[in-house]
Chain A
Amino acid sequence: MDFRLTDDQRALRQGVRALLEGRFGREELRAAVDRAEGRPPGGGRVLDRGLWRELGAAGFFALRLPESEGGVGLGLPEAVLAFEEAGRVLLPGPLVATHLAAGVVPGAAGGEVVVTSADGWLAEGGRAEECLTEGGAAGGGAAARGLACGGLVEWLDEADVVRGDATGAVRLASVDPLTPLHRLPAGADGRSAGGALRAARTPDRLVASLLTAAEQLGSASRTCESAVQHARTREQFGRPVGAFQAVQHLCADMLARVETARAAVYAASVTADPADIAAARVLADEAAVRGARDCLQVHGGMGFTWESDVHLHLKRAWVRTHRAGGVTQSEEELADDLVARTV
């Protein structure tokens, strides 16, 4: 047993980090936010298709596709490392849905096609190939079989392909400037007897949840670093604020959440065990949301401004908590797991 990253995995992480830092650094992030802000209501492209194709060329979407099918032939651990990096830089777009569509939707693997998914299709019986909708507009195409159970669709207007049934989707004024959102109508069958939303444990839903956790981890890691950097340099009362125990303890708790979530996310990528994935999700969601809040607090008044990037991390983290089986569902699954098997 050696849980640490292999040399190849370290190299992969470095490669993805270098690519993203070069292609989607802070200036590109802020430019994307400005583009999204200036977009006319209901239209205007924000997603950088050039970047999307570069990601495709680098193998970001085809990472887990077998080499025989033109993919990179790597596994979940590598995908998790790549998505962690995407989370660090707040890379926009339906990354998880497109990654899952590689090998299923033509053009997705190479980044020529942007694919999103209606979260509801992940519910029971959902088979991706049966419920593709062309064109991306809300309401078009084949209806899936009783799959709608509410939920959100990210990037509906900009996607070339929507997996699942987005019929009747309603645009939201998304809290995250870089994630346009539509809400799906709740279906009659979507709720279990207990009243909780219970999506099936399809392989794709589990992977979507895990990759979301990886993005959350990257974001949490980044906001922790940002808080620490600020605390080291920002002076009040004649000394860096990081010398004050109250601030130190905020930062220490941030790191403790990041490292605990990291262990859970990496382990889940190795075992692919549904309960491990649910645990990873719960801890990574918490690390990202609370980490961004604490980072904002450490930044003080500056943290509350639009110019600071902290709010972008917090808002995206909030959006991600609703994707592919959120916290309530993960906690319920973990509760079931307690009585289903012995340690």
Chain B
Amino acid sequence: MDLTYTPEEEEFRARLRAWLAGVLPALPPKPSPHDWPARRAYDLGWQRMLYDAGYAGLHWPVDAGGRGATPTQHLIYLEETEKAGAPYVGANFVGLLHAGPTIASEGSAEQRARWLPPVLRGEEVWCQGFSEPGAGSDLAALRTRAWRDGDDYVVSGSKIWTSHAEVADWCELLVRTDPDAPKHRGITWLAMPMDAPGITVRPLRTLAGSTEFAEVFLDEVRVPAANRVGAENDGWRVTMVTLSYERGTAFVGEVVACRRVLSEVAREARKNGRWDDAVLRRRLGRLNAEFRALWRLTQWNVSEAQSTGGVPGVGGSVFKLRYSHARQELFDAAAEVLGPESLDLGREWSLDRLSSLSYTIAAGTSQIQRNIVAERILGLPRGR
């Protein structure tokens, strides 16, 4: 049980901190959360700055263009960038945290050379084409079909909840290539160019008012067979690699952010007199316990990942389950502190409160996470 960082790690932290302190004040103001083209430009600009400073793809393997950082260094990176108020990964989320690591792990040399550098340099944005209207939590029930025609796959069907589809260059697409195989077996992972003919993107408005995801309709879209990552019909295994990354490290920076917000909420309560309410005060105290523990759980998971060569394990499900609820409780508590002001969408934390409602649904609902914990960690019989 060692929570101290090595001198090298501390030096890395100090260098990063100094760099952030130098560049962040000069950043342009953040665009409106509803303006996706502007957000794309902003997020890619930030990614380019990271690239030029040598921080792009920090935790990616060196032969994938990354820096080969240890999980602990990556943890420090996420902690420090969040503490410094650096831009969120934003439109680069899928490229950096889903598709990129998947291609780095499962792609051919040509595929890595084609797709990874533009992600790191902030030149291309990816979106995730996993869910379908009939295949959300039951992802393997997806029906979007792809059949082989010469050197291409021809894809027809539709996807939904496709984050950043409006502004994406590429889509990590799951398609059914063998309709007769058991449902987990006949799936293939493709990289689909978003400018291919036959693709229609219809943005969906979220309850928070923004359009960060979309419906995507695919009408005989031709995707080169060379864009297939992993073997044909082996897409489920490839996908599981992607999802374990999502659950393992995707929320580290957010825990740090939540701890900061919680302190701000407490200070606000002190200012506006709500602090005298012992019930509310203790509720904030309990949230402090929760986010402290989630940070420690993160350090635990990172230590485990470090010992297994960097691939996060199923422990991520425990984290995701607790974190998504804690996040919602945090912004509910913030609303309690703000009182009627919380109904003003212009007020800080109001949009966050709305956005937090997605956390128990996206990236595997809390119910699915519980199934994973019960069946894969606790070894209970398969459910029904």
**Per-residue 0/1 for A154-171: is the Cβ within 8 Å of any B Cβ (1 yes, 0 no)?**
000000000000000000
Interface of chain B, main secondary structure: helix
B266 touching A339, Cβ below 8 Å: yes
A232 touching B383, Cβ below 8 Å: no
Q: Does A69 contact B (CB under 8 A)?
A: no
B1 touching A3, Cβ below 8 Å: yes
Interface-central residue, A9, A259, A262, by most chain B CB under 10 Å: A259
Q: Write the chain A residue with the least CB distance to B380.
A: A242
A332 touching B281, Cβ below 8 Å: yes
Q: Does A343 contact B (CB under 8 A)?
A: yes
A256 touching B282, Cβ below 8 Å: no
In the assembled complex, the CB of A283 is this many whole angstroms from the nearest CB of chain B, namely 5
* Known A228-B378, A242-B380, A339-B263: A264·B292 in contact at CB below 8 Å: yes
Across-interface contacts of B383 in A (CB, < 8 A): 243-245, 248
Query: Which residue from B260, B284, B289, B302 sits with its C-beta under 8 Å from A330?
Result: B289
B286 touching A282, Cβ below 8 Å: yes
Question: Bound complex: CA of A252 vs CA of B9, how far in Å?
Answer: 35
Tell me the residues in window 243-266 of chain A with beta carbons closer than 8 Å to chain B beta carbons: 243-245, 247-249, 251-253, 255-256, 259-264, 266
Among B214-222, B235-243, B314-322, the stretch in contact with A: B314-322
Q: Write the chain A residue with the least CB distance to B378.
A: A228
Interface-central residue, A3, A228, A240, A242, by most chain B CB under 10 Å: A3
A330 touching B285, Cβ below 8 Å: yes
Q: Write the chain B residue with the least CB distance to A245.
A: B383
Interface of chain A, main secondary structure: helix
Q: Does A98 contact B (CB under 8 A)?
A: no
Question: Bound complex: CA of A283 vs CA of B297, how far in Å?
Answer: 12
A339 touching B297, Cβ below 8 Å: no
Across-interface contacts of B294 in A (CB, < 8 A): 260
B292 touching A279, Cβ below 8 Å: yes
In the assembled complex, the CB of A209 is this many whole angstroms from the nearest CB of chain B, namely 13
B263 touching A338, Cβ below 8 Å: yes
Tell me the residues in window 289-326 of chain A with beta carbons closer than 8 Å to chain B beta carbons: none
Question: Bound complex: CA of A60 vs CA of B256, how far in Å?
Answer: 37
In the assembled complex, the CB of B223 is this many whole angstroms from the nearest CB of chain A, namely 37
Q: Write the chain A residue with the least CB distance to B307.
A: A4
A338 touching B293, Cβ below 8 Å: no
B382 touching A243, Cβ below 8 Å: yes
In the assembled complex, the CB of B294 is this many whole angstroms from the nearest CB of chain A, namely 7
Among A44-52, A82-90, A267-275, the stretch in contact with B: A267-275
**Per-residue 0/1 for B66-80: is the Cβ within 8 Å of any A Cβ (1 yes, 0 no)?**
000000100100000
Q: Does A77 contact B (CB under 8 A)?
A: yes
Q: Does A196 contact B (CB under 8 A)?
A: yes
* Known A244-B383, A259-B318, A263-B300: A338·B289 in contact at CB below 8 Å: no
Q: Does B148 contact A (CB under 8 A)?
A: no
* Known A243-B384, A244-B383, A248-B380: A263·B296 in contact at CB below 8 Å: yes
In the assembled complex, the CB of B270 is this many whole angstroms from the nearest CB of chain A, namely 6
* Known A245-B371, A252-B374, A263-B296: A196·B278 in contact at CB below 8 Å: yes
Q: Does B367 contact A (CB under 8 A)?
A: yes
Across-interface contacts of A248 in B (CB, < 8 A): 370-371, 374-375, 380, 383
Q: Does B379 contact A (CB under 8 A)?
A: yes
B306 touching A2, Cβ below 8 Å: yes
A252 touching B289, Cβ below 8 Å: no
Q: Does A220 contact B (CB under 8 A)?
A: no
Q: Does A342 contact B (CB under 8 A)?
A: yes
Q: Write the chain A residue with the least CB distance to B320.
A: A256
B289 touching A244, Cβ below 8 Å: no
User: Interface extent on A, as a size class?
Assistant: 35 or more
A1 touching B9, Cβ below 8 Å: yes
**Per-residue 0/1 for B272-289: is the Cβ within 8 Å of any A Cβ (1 yes, 0 no)?**
000000100111111011
Question: Bound complex: CA of A276 vs CA of B291, how far in Å?
Answer: 11
B370 touching A252, Cβ below 8 Å: yes
Across-interface contacts of B4 in A (CB, < 8 A): 1
**Per-residue 0/1 for A227-244: is the Cβ within 8 Å of any B Cβ (1 yes, 0 no)?**
010011000000110111
**Per-residue 0/1 for B1-45: is the Cβ within 8 Å of any A Cβ (1 yes, 0 no)?**
111111001000000000000000000000000000000000000
Across-interface contacts of A255 in B (CB, < 8 A): 318, 373, 377-378
A263 touching B270, Cβ below 8 Å: no
Across-interface contacts of A137 in B (CB, < 8 A): none
In the assembled complex, the CB of A214 is this many whole angstroms from the nearest CB of chain B, namely 13
Q: Does A333 contact B (CB under 8 A)?
A: yes
Interface-central residue, B283, B321, B380, by most chain A CB under 10 Å: B380
Across-interface contacts of B306 in A (CB, < 8 A): 2
**Per-residue 0/1 for B218-259: is the Cβ within 8 Å of any A Cβ (1 yes, 0 no)?**
000000000000000000000000000000000000001001
A232 touching B380, Cβ below 8 Å: yes
Interface-central residue, A194, A239, A247, A334, by most chain B CB under 10 Å: A334
Contacts from A to B (Cβ < 8 Å): 1-6, 9, 77, 194-196, 228, 231-232, 239-240, 242-245, 247-249, 251-253, 255-256, 259-264, 266-267, 269-271, 275-276, 278-280, 282-283, 328, 330-339, 342-343
Given A248-B370, A255-B378, A330-B289, 16 additional A-B pairs, CB 8 A: A1-B2, A195-B278, A245-B384, A249-B371, A252-B321, A260-B293, A264-B296, A270-B1, A271-B3, A279-B292, A279-B293, A328-B282, A334-B285, A337-B288, A338-B262, A343-B83
A-B contact pairs, 7 of them (CB 8 A): A2-B2, A4-B1, A248-B380, A252-B370, A335-B281, A338-B267, A343-B256
Contacts from B to A (Cβ < 8 Å): 1-6, 9, 72, 75, 83, 256, 259-260, 262-263, 266-267, 270, 278, 281-286, 288-290, 292-294, 296-297, 299-300, 302-304, 306-307, 315, 318, 321-322, 367, 369-371, 373-375, 377-384
- The 10 lowest CB-CB distance pairs between A and B, nearest first, are A248-B374, A334-B285, A335-B285, A331-B285, A338-B266, A279-B289, A252-B370, A252-B373, A264-B293, A263-B296
